[in-house]
Structure 1
Amino acid sequence: MSLVMPSAQARTGSAGQRPTTPDDARRHELAAFLRSRRERLAPEQVGLPMTGRRRTPGLRREEVAQLAAVGVTWYTWLEQGRDIQVSTQVLDAVARALLLDPSERAHLFTLAGTDDPAPVRDCPSVTPSVRMLLERLAPFPALVLNSRYDVLAYNAQYTGFVGDLDRLAPEDRNLMWMAFTPSHFREVLIDYRTERLGIVARFRAAMADHSSDPTRKALVARLLRASPEFAELWQRHDVMRPGNGVKRFQVPGVGLLRCEYTNFWLSPQLGTRMITYTPLDDETRALMDRLPTRAQ
């Protein structure tokens, strides 16, 4: 396991200084996330003996470092948001030491700005019955989406709208990301400029229920770096509730599809929903049979 030494400026800087750049903000979120995960654990949960009364909740930093087999100084710098680069081996060890669940582990690697060498792709919201229903909806495109706009599951017909999602990195399988960066989804969605207004407004409204969720903050920070258009819309503070509506797609080799989309909530508390696209007219119904498909 290895870490890259921080610069002299980073070593002498104040750990409590407010983030001034997107990278500073990401490190600040990483530090806060690690502290919150450490403080929720009791020593007996990780096989450590109780050693009298503790002044602070949870594990001590040196205990996490011991469990992860990394230096105390290194782990302290990580929790202080220092400008250091952490190897995937260290992140993996820290994730195991803190007993992170799959979502927390994925978030840890996202905030650290590196790929998880052993990502967990299963989602508890997508049960075998949900996957079966997605397949049975053919030839109508359908997907499962969470309130963060991550695509959790989909049927083969939906790939006609978004392309081959298997070719994308897991963190890029997000409709917000695809709407504001070059993608097949943006190419075929005719009214994508208008649709982006709604997707940003609905995402901001959903954040009110998840204001402390660092994964959403990390996504916003990533989009702010990648898209001036997103930054402009984000500053408007528009909000909108999720709803049903109509979308138009111009799919190469198929034609113009006018679709009505409908939300079916699978987990209202978490905002997970299945969205189906049904034809708005007979012409679209006939064209749906011609949608290119790529199996998951």
Structure 2
Amino acid sequence: MDRAELACVLKAARARIAPEEVGLVAGPRRRVAGLRREEVAQLSGLSVDYVVRLEQGRAPRPSIQVLTALTRVLRLDRDGRDQVFRLAGSAPPLAGRVEMSVRPSVLRLLQRMTDLPALVLSAKGDVLVQNPMACALIGDLTSWPEGRRNLFWQRFLGAGETRVALTAEEIEPAEQQAVGSLRTALSRYPDDPELRELIDDLIAGSPRFQGLWRTGNVTTWRSTHKTIDHPDFGVLVLDCDTLLLPDTDQSMIVYSAAAGTREASALDMMRVTGTERMTAR
């Protein structure tokens, strides 16, 4: 691990990112170019102290999960990401593994979508990034603990922290789609250890998943309607479209509503309120 060079690369990458690129307001009193260390820590789910020590060349060797989170927040392209991995003493992600980095061009596209909630998922259902509207609508899913930022894990093993509300008729198709999507991912990435670990955890921890897994069905994400139980705006039924990013096998999920509907009015209000709660808990 080349701590000094890693520190230099991380600081330079942080300085290149304008706050507006990641949904933050710069403000008139900002004294640093790019992002603050506190903002990098918040966006990557790390402690401020750890980010400081990384940039000072005093941190222990970061894990693969930490490197993946940092390179995503710093919007590094594949070459930049691989450089950070090597400087940290880790092998860059291999071909044939599920891609966990989001291309800078996709991040720019996501950030420009200020009117609609959108998020990007990996091939195995990890929540990689959300725009501010998605945080306002469904909550900040990237705040889930590391290793649990996965829609399939949350569906079968989570504690019901999601705002997505399924009717009795929707539960079984949603579960079948989740299992089928993981089977599709396994057929494409049979050597990915994190995918294998996720599937093993689901089989061991969820009898429902285990039963569905044995059926052998394969499927992919499809556009549909989603019901969101929002704490301020109540039950919202939204169109939910899946846009495929074929070169990385990632999916962009976009929520929308027809003009003139109650749901469209709620989305208009969320653009103003953001994640701020309008009612007391």
User: Normalising TM by the smaller chain, what interval?
Assistant: 0.5 to 0.7
- Structure 1 length normalisation: TM-score? 0.54
> Pick from 220, 224, 231: which aligns with 1:252?
231
> Partner residue of 1:35?
none
CA distance in 2, matches of 1:91, 1:244: 37
> Partner residue of 2:217?
238
User: How many residues get paired?
Assistant: 187
RMSD: 3.3
Answer yes or no: is the 8 Å Cα contact 2:121–2:128 preserved in 1: yes
Percent identity (aligned): 26
> Pick from 241, 253, 271: which aligns with 1:275?
253
The Cα of 1:224 is off from its aligned counterpart by 2.3
> Partner residue of 2:152?
176
Q: State the one-letter code of the partner of 1:182.
A: A
Please identify runs of 4+ aligned residues in structure 1 that moved more than 6 A: 89-92, 95-98
Q: How does 1:15-26 map to 2 (within 5 A)?
A: none
> Partner residue of 2:113?
137
Q: Secondary structure of 1:173's partner? A: coil
Q: State the one-letter code of the partner of 1:199.
A: A
List alignment gaps of at least 5 residues for structure 2.
Answer: 1-59, 64-84, 277-281
- From the CA coordinates, give the structure whose radius of gyration is larger: 1
The 3 A distance-change label for structure 1 pair 140 and 184 is farther
CA distance in 2, matches of 1:138, 1:246: 21
Q: How does 1:1-296 map to 2 (within 5 A)?
A: 100-101=90-91, 103=93, 124-127=101-104, 129-180=105-156, 181-185=158-162, 187-191=163-167, 193-194=171-172, 195-266=174-245, 268-280=246-258, 282-291=261-270, 293-294=274-275
Q: Residues 134-177 of structure 1, C-alpha deviation per residue, up to 9 Å, x if partnerless?
A: 23223311011111111111112212454233432221111111
Answer yes or no: is the 8 Å Cα contact 1:161–1:188 preserved in 2: no
CA distance in 1, matches of 2:189, 2:100: 19
Answer yes or no: is the 8 Å Cα contact 2:119–2:252 preserved in 1: yes
- Structure 2 length normalisation: TM-score? 0.56
The Cα of 1:216 is off from its aligned counterpart by 1.0
The Cα of 1:196 is off from its aligned counterpart by 2.0
CA distance in 2, matches of 1:137, 1:234: 36
List alignment gaps of at least 5 residues for structure 1.
Answer: 1-88, 108-121
CA distance in 1, matches of 2:102, 2:131: 16
CA distance in 2, matches of 1:154, 1:98: 27
The 3 A distance-change label for structure 1 pair 101 and 183 is farther
The Cα of 1:188 is off from its aligned counterpart by 3.2
Q: Secondary structure of 1:188's partner? A: coil
CA distance in 2, matches of 1:289, 1:91: 41
CA distance in 2, matches of 1:90, 1:288: 43
The 3 A distance-change label for structure 1 pair 173 and 91 is closer
CA distance in 1, matches of 2:231, 2:171: 19
